[in-house]
């Protein structure tokens, strides 16, 4: 027989949740300003040394170091210098299994909640510009998505997608619509030595990061990234594969244009590979702990003028243009990949 939670127990539970949010806020400051990598490179630092390394204000750094120490990201030595703890090391953006996306996602979620609270009063849906309203968040958006989803793609999704091997055999081209910081195409180009790629994104910051990554990895001869609208992109020859990585719901209101674009420009042997968060058929599923983040994403997408899609909706849209679809499910059903080809 379960014991009913008391008012004080409930207050304690919520205060613990609030402390978790505060901890991630502190971590975000360190991520956004390169403080965690500075400590890792130096070994140990005081506020003056951290200021010299990062160019940040010393007095702000003193207060941040107090907070980072309080929440367990820093440890203090007898000399008054600080070094990273294991949790601090995990916040370095290039750490293996980095926790950086958790910190960035927490602050982004707070921003989206504030925008939803204000827009709810008027019905305004300002669109994707809200992602660029916080100058310290946007530069980390692509890296957050990459860290969250690249391992899933590489380890579980890609082995289920033989189409990319087929494209590689004929030195074909993959066009990524809504490419973000380019991680998807970069991963493909590293895995398949003859495959070429074109990435298109509406945010100039994402295109800049993607182009820099391609140059640093020696892949700029096979990969090209451009800023533009995925609904109005000129193509001179048929495309072997179109991919959209968690981007279709951003243009769903204009899906007739998008799906006509696929039908017009896809080669007869090609495919469209769509990766989307899988909105459940039943609201009850949102109560499951693994699906709760999806419910909040649904709210934040509404602010951006979007809504999340069920796999069946996407398959139906391809059927309407004469394509056949294969629906694949990953991450406990939270992620779906749909491979669509021109119908026989």
The CATH number of residue 92's host domain is 1.10.10.10
Tell whether 173 and 250 lie within a shared domain.
yes
Burial class (CB in 10 A: 0-12, 13-18, 19+), 223: buried
Tell whether 217 and 291 lie within a shared domain.
yes
Print the domain residue range for 334: 137-342
Whose tokens are 């939803």? That residue is: 116
Q: Let me know if residue 107 belongs to a domain.
A: no
Tell whether 33 and 169 lie within a shared domain.
no
- pLDDT by residue for the chain (344 residues), tens only, comes to 457 889 999 999 999 999 999 999 999 999 999 999 999 999 999 999 999 999 999 999 999 999 999 999 999 988 889 999 999 999 999 999 999 999 999 999 999 999 999 999 999 999 989 988 999 998 999 999 999 999 999 999 999 999 999 999 999 999 999 999 999 999 999 999 999 999 999 889 999 999 999 999 999 999 999 998 877 777 878 999 999 999 999 999 999 999 999 999 999 899 999 999 999 989 999 999 999 999 999 999 999 999 999 999 999 999 999 999 999 999 999 999 999 999 75
Picking from 97, 123, 151, the residue at the C-terminal end of a domain is: 97
Tell whether 163 and 272 lie within a shared domain.
yes
Q: What are phi and psi of 173, to 5 degrees?
A: -120, 135
Tell whether 85 and 158 lie within a shared domain.
no
Tell whether 141 and 247 lie within a shared domain.
yes
Tell whether 93 and 150 lie within a shared domain.
no
* 167 vs 183: CA distance, rounded Å: 18
Q: Let me know if residue 298 belongs to a domain.
A: yes
Picking from 97, 119, 154, the residue at the C-terminal end of a domain is: 97
What is the pTM assigned to this prediction?
Answer: 0.90
The predicted pLDDT at position 344 comes to: 57
Half-sphere exposure of 171 (CA within 13 A, CB side): 2
The predicted pLDDT at position 237 comes to: 85
Tell whether 201 and 251 lie within a shared domain.
yes
Tell whether 69 and 217 lie within a shared domain.
no
**Rg from Cα positions in the chain:** 22
Q: Which DSSP letter does residue 195 get?
A: -
Q: Let me know if residue 190 belongs to a domain.
A: yes
Complete DSSP assignment for 290-333: GGHHHHHHHHHHHHTT-----HHHHHHHHHHTTEEEEEEEEGGG
Q: Let me know if residue 335 belongs to a domain.
A: yes
* 116 vs 135: CA distance, rounded Å: 19
Tell whether 192 and 328 lie within a shared domain.
yes
Tell whether 173 and 299 lie within a shared domain.
yes
The predicted pLDDT at position 132 comes to: 86
Q: How many domains does the chain have?
A: 2
The predicted pLDDT at position 230 comes to: 74
Picking from 75, 97, 119, the residue at the C-terminal end of a domain is: 97
Q: Let me know if residue 196 belongs to a domain.
A: yes
Q: Let me know if residue 35 belongs to a domain.
A: yes
Q: Let me know if residue 102 belongs to a domain.
A: no
Tell whether 66 and 153 lie within a shared domain.
no
The predicted pLDDT at position 1 comes to: 41
Q: Let me know if residue 274 belongs to a domain.
A: yes
């Amino acid at each position: 027989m379960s014991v009913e939670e008391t008012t004080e127990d409930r207050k304690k539970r919520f205060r613990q949740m609030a402390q978790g949010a505060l901890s991630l806020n502190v971590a975000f400051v360190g991520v956004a300003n390169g403080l965690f990598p500075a400590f890792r490179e130096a070994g140990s630092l005081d506020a003056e040394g951290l200021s010299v390394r990062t160019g940040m204000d010393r007095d702000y750094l003193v207060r941040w170091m107090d907070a980072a120490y309080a929440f367990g990201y820093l440890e203090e030595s007898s000399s008054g210098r600080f070094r990273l703890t294991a949790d601090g090391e995990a916040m370095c953006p290039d750490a293996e299994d980095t926790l950086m996306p958790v910190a960035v996602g927490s602050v982004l979620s707070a921003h989206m909640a504030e925008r939803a609270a204000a827009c709810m009063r008027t019905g305004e849906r300002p669109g994707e510009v809200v992602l660029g309203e916080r100058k310290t968040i946007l530069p980390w958006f692509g890296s957050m998505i990459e860290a969250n989803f690249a391992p899933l793609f590489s380890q579980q999704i890609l082995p289920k997608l033989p189409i990319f091997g087929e494209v590689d055999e004929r030195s074909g081209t993959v066009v990524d619509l809504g490419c973000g910081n380019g991680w998807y195409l970069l991963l493909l180009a590293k895995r398949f030595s003859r495959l070429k790629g074109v990435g298109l994104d509406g945010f100039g910051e994402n295109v800049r990061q993607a182009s820099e990554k391609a140059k640093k990895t020696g892949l700029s001869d096979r990969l090209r990234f451009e800023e533009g609208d995925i609904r109005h992109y000129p193509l001179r020859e048929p495309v072997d594969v179109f991919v959209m990585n968690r981007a279709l719901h951003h243009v769903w209101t204009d899906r007739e244009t998008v799906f006509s674009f696929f039908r017009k420009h896809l080669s007869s042997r090609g495919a469209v590979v769509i990766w989307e968060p899988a909105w459940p058929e039943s609201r009850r599923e949102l109560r499951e702990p693994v699906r709760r983040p999806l419910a909040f994403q649904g709210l934040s997408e509404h602010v951006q003028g979007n809504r999340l899609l069920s796999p069946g909706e996407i398959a139906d849209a391809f059927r309407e243009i004469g394509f056949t679809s294969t629906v694949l499910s990953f991450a406990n059903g939270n992620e779906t990949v749909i491979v669509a080809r021109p119908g026989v």
